[in-house]
Amino acid sequence: DVKVTQSSRYLVKRTGEKVFLECVQDMDHENMFWYRQDPGLGLRLIYFSYDVKMKEKGDIPEGYSVSREKKERFSLILESASTNQTSMYLCASSPTIAGGREETQYFGPGTRLLVL
């Protein structure tokens, strides 16, 4: 089974702090994704990566950056956390983005971030 793990289930940070959210997948997937989930808004894509050291902006990249130094690890960075970044953050991976069922995404358990 594909396993996607996230470094924390719950996190509390102060405004202005630098926050790192880590995601690791163990199935040698090419692609990794970061989403935030807010009530009534569904999942919104922040960034994705289709290869090591490659990154693409999603729909809401402002205030976030990412890093993918190794294939299995994709980090989301909040350079200076703000209260409007309080949310649930979900990481996902997929074998490919070349089309078909192989685009199925496998999700981690999520990190609930509270910024005070």
Partner 1 sequence: AQKITQTQPGMFVQEKEAVTLDCTYDTSDPSYGLFWYKQPSSGEMIFLIYQGSYDQQNATEGRYSLNFQKARKSANLVISASQLGDSAMYFCAMTGYQKVTFGTGTKLQVIP
Binding site for partner 1 (CB under 8 A): 33, 35, 40-45, 48, 50, 56, 88, 90, 92, 97, 99-101, 103-110
CA 37, CA 64: separation in Å to the nearest integer? 15
CA 81, CA 61: separation in Å to the nearest integer? 14
Shorter beta-carbon distance to partner 1: residue 44 or 73: 44
Shorter beta-carbon distance to partner 1: residue 12 or 16: 12
**Least Cβ distance, residue 64 to partner 1 (angstroms):** 17
Residues 6+ apart with CB under 8 A from 103: 94, 95, 96, 97
**Least Cβ distance, residue 63 to partner 1 (angstroms):** 20
**Least Cβ distance, residue 52 to partner 1 (angstroms):** 17
**Least Cβ distance, residue 107 to partner 1 (angstroms):** 4
* Phi, psi dihedral angles at 64 (to 5 degrees): -130, 155
Q: With contact defined as beta carbons under 8 Å apart, do 34 and 55 qualify?
A: no
Shorter beta-carbon distance to partner 1: residue 13 or 44: 44
